Amino acid sequence: MSASESSSVSSDASVPGDPVEEQGSSLPQLEVLISHLVAAKRSLSSITHVWRANEIVTSARSALEESVVISARTGFLRRGLNNQLRLLYSVRSEVEEVSLRGRSEFASVLKSLDSADARLRKTLDLLRETIVHSSFRPDGEQPKSLHDFVDERGVEELHASLKSAIDRTNAARAELDSSNLAFDDELDSIKKALGTYREATKLASSRSSASSSSSTSNSNLPSLSSMPSMLHSLEMHAQEMANLLESLVRHFDLCVTAVKHTEGGGAAAQSITGDMPAAVTVSGPGVLNIEEGINANLNAPLDPLSESDYQEMVNVLIKDAAEAEDVVMEIQDRIGDMESVLENVLSQRDILLSVYNATTGVFKHLSSLASARLPGYIAQAHSFTRVWNEEHECIDGGLADLSDLNSLYDGFLEAYDGLIVEVTRRRHVRHRVEKVLRDAKHKLDQLYEEDVNARETFRVEQGDYLPSDIWPGIGREPMRIEFRRISGGNLKGVTAEPLDGQDQPAAEPHEPPAPVEDNPEEGEVIPNLPKSLVEGALNRLQARRRTAT
């Protein structure tokens, strides 16, 4: 029967629910009861909302359980991540400190090494520039510099040793720099993962704020505190919807009974209820099996009713029919609220899941770094420290050797200047000795002449009176004094080749002594150095003394 037909019939019939018409004891026509049965059957379609309510409660409970697990895991990972990040950046700072300290120390040592090497090269250049005066060398010899008397093999070996130490240190430092660069790349990856985590947290916060405006929760951040209350709200809605559906079932059952007890209504009731679903089951808090209730009433034999019972049943039916639409609307409203609450629950679950996924992303980076590559970065820092300590000691020793060589060669330069001054002093002493010798020779010659003249005078005056054999020496000339140059030997503690000059043989007694001034250089050759050479040597020696003080 159509709804329009039901409406027309109900307009002609009196409404039993009306107190005035109830007094007339008039019964509604069959068409009115059938229209209520049709409406009651249509209201039972609300069972789909009850099924959906059951699904919503199940989904919300599952989402809550999943959220609890996710939240616990996220909290655990975040606590661990904070500690690992602090430890990781502490390790990176320590490794960087090793690199910076080694770089600083290496640069300082290289600076000192360069300065020492520059001083040594400058000294060697001075040795090359200082030509030994030809007076010191044999005749015909090619000019030589002081550098020709230096064996540079020690300098070359020292440079090779220092170069090896520097190259090994540079190689270790390059490996450490490469390791630190890879470490920084790892940190950049972790920073990107942390950026993803922050974006997820920010997005989660914005979603939570948006969802909180339409939910019963006042929290703007993803939190588990509101989810249990929302689940409880869903369960209460589902329970109430089941109760409302149960009342609709009872109303439908009452309509079926009323139609069947009305004359001619049995066939109509069978026709209307013939396409009822084979199985209608409501599961939820307070499980309700509707199928059994409906089918039991449809197939149950009719019990006889008195007219008053029938009237009472019809009155209840009319009253319930007026409220059935409100019940259906309430079920629809409740399922709408439940859908909204479920959306909020799932949204918060998704928020927690997105934060969890971002957190696990950071954790995976950290875990992979800590287990696979971090030990290598730390080992590389230790390797550089070990190499640098070994080579630092070698370089320090080489630095001391460079300083010693520079002192040695600088002392050579100073000694050569001192040699020039010493030669000048010796020549000056030689000149003084020659002067003394000349003066002594002159005085001795005078005494000799005086003695000869006196002896001759005595011989002339007294010789005729003295027998010749009274004293054999009466007719001899006076003795003569002869000076002989003897080459000096080596000084104490000095071993050297003998000088080319030989000792002069003594003059025969009857020969006159050789004049001292004829060959003043015999025995020891003292070079006659230019005045400018001597003055330059003196100036350099005085400058060194001023620098030393």
CB 313 within 8 A of CB 258: yes
Residue recorded with tokens 């350099």:
540
Q: Containing domain of residue 544, as a range?
A: 405-464+475-485+500-548
Task: Please state, rounded to an integer, the average pLDDT across all residues of the chain.
Answer: 79
DSSP 3-state of 466: coil
User: Given a cut of 60, is residue 496 above it in pLDDT?
Assistant: no
Kindly state the tokens that stand for 30. Answer: 């069959």
User: Given a cut of 80, is residue 541 above it in pLDDT?
Assistant: yes
User: Given a cut of 60, is residue 98 above it in pLDDT?
Assistant: yes
User: Given a cut of 80, is residue 509 above it in pLDDT?
Assistant: no
State the CB neighbour count (10 A cutoff) for residue 141: 10
157-171 mean pLDDT:
93
Distances in Å between the alpha carbon of 46 and those of 55, 247, 366?
14, 12, 54
Distance between CA 190 and CA 73 in Å, rounded?
A: 20
Shared-domain flag, residues 32 and 116: no
What is the model's pLDDT at position 296?
46
CB 99 within 8 A of CB 381: yes
What is the model's pLDDT at position 514?
43
The answer to whether residue 140 is domain-embedded is: no
Segment 462-479, tens digit of pLDDT? 888 888 788 888 888 899
Q: Which residues are CB-contacts of 504 (< 8 A; sequence separation ≥ 6)?
A: 484, 485, 486, 522, 523
Shared-domain flag, residues 392 and 507: no
The answer to whether residue 138 is domain-embedded is: no
Q: What's the total number of domains in the chain?
A: 3
Shared-domain flag, residues 48 and 33: yes
The answer to whether residue 13 is domain-embedded is: yes
Distance between CA 285 and CA 302 in Å, rounded?
A: 33
Shared-domain flag, residues 48 and 76: no
Least confident of 149-163, 199-213, 345-359: 199-213
Shared-domain flag, residues 426 and 532: yes
CB 373 within 8 A of CB 92: no
Shared-domain flag, residues 318 and 343: yes
The answer to whether residue 34 is domain-embedded is: yes
What is the model's pLDDT at position 28?
61
User: Given a cut of 90, is residue 488 above it in pLDDT?
Assistant: no
What is the model's pLDDT at position 3?
33
CB 68 within 8 A of CB 224: yes
Shared-domain flag, residues 34 and 107: no
The answer to whether residue 164 is domain-embedded is: yes
pLDDT category of residue 19 using cuts at 50, 70 and 90 = very low
303-307 contacts: CB < 8 A, separation 24 or more? Answer: 305/261
Q: Between 272 and 397, where is the model more confident? A: 397
What is the model's pLDDT at position 179?
92
Shared-domain flag, residues 284 and 425: no
Distance between CA 449 and CA 454 in Å, rounded?
A: 8
365-389 mean pLDDT:
88
Distances in Å between the alpha carbon of 116 and those of 32, 110, 278, 394, 404?
121, 10, 106, 15, 10
The answer to whether residue 145 is domain-embedded is: no
Shared-domain flag, residues 425 and 533: yes
Shared-domain flag, residues 276 and 184: no
pLDDT category of residue 507 using cuts at 50, 70 and 90 = very low
Distance between CA 218 and CA 199 in Å, rounded?
A: 23
Least confident of 147-161, 287-301, 385-399: 287-301
Distance between CA 423 and CA 421 in Å, rounded?
A: 5
End-to-end alpha-carbon separation of the chain, Å? 132
- pTM exceeding the 0.95 threshold for the entire prediction: no
The answer to whether residue 53 is domain-embedded is: yes
List, as one string, the DSSP characters of 277-299. Answer: -S---B-SSS-B-HHHHHHHHHH
Least confident of 80-94, 212-226, 427-441, 520-534: 212-226
Distance between CA 249 and CA 41 in Å, rounded?
A: 9
Distance between CA 54 and CA 283 in Å, rounded?
A: 7
Residue recorded with tokens 């001083």:
119
Segment 310-364, tens digit of pLDDT? 888 888 888 878 888 888 899 889 999 999 988 888 888 888 888 888 888 888 8
The answer to whether residue 146 is domain-embedded is: no
Q: Which of 295, 321, 356 is the last residue of a domain?
A: 356
List, as one string, the DSSP characters of 382-433. Answer: HHHHHHHHHHHHHHHHHHHHHHHHHHHHHHHHHHHHHHHHHHHHHHHHHHHH
Shared-domain flag, residues 418 and 398: no
User: Given a cut of 80, is residue 274 above it in pLDDT?
Assistant: no
Q: Of 206, 224, 226, give the one whose Cα is nearest residue 215.
A: 226
Shared-domain flag, residues 539 and 430: yes
